[in-house]
Structure 1
Amino acid sequence: MNGLTGMEKFSHLEDKIYLTIEFAKKMREEKEALEAELNELRASSGNWLAEKARLESRVESLLSERDAIQLKVEAMLDAMTVIDVEVAEAVGRAM
Structure 2
Amino acid sequence: MDALTGMEKFSHLEDKIYLTIEFAKKMREEKEKIERDAVSLRRDAGSLQAENARLENKVEKLLSERDAIQLKVEAMLDAMTIIDSEVAEAVGR
| TM-score, L = length of structure 1 | 0.93
Report matched runs for 1:1-95 at 5 Å.
Answer: 5-93=5-93
The alignment of Structure 1 onto Structure 2 pairs a total of residues equal to 91
More helix by share: 2
Deviations 1:52-91 (A, max 9, x none): 0000000000000000000000000000001000000100
Higher relative contact order (CA 8 A, sep 6+): 1
Kindly provide the amino acid, as one letter, of the partner of residue 82 in structure 1: I
Aligned-pair CA distance for 1:34 = 0.4
The alignment yields a C-alpha RMSD, in angstroms, of 1.2
User: Kindly, what percent of the aligned residue pairs are identical?
Assistant: 79
Structure 2 CA distance, aligned partners of 1:89 and 1:8? 117
Unaligned runs of at least 5 residues, structure 1: none
Unaligned runs of at least 5 residues, structure 2: none
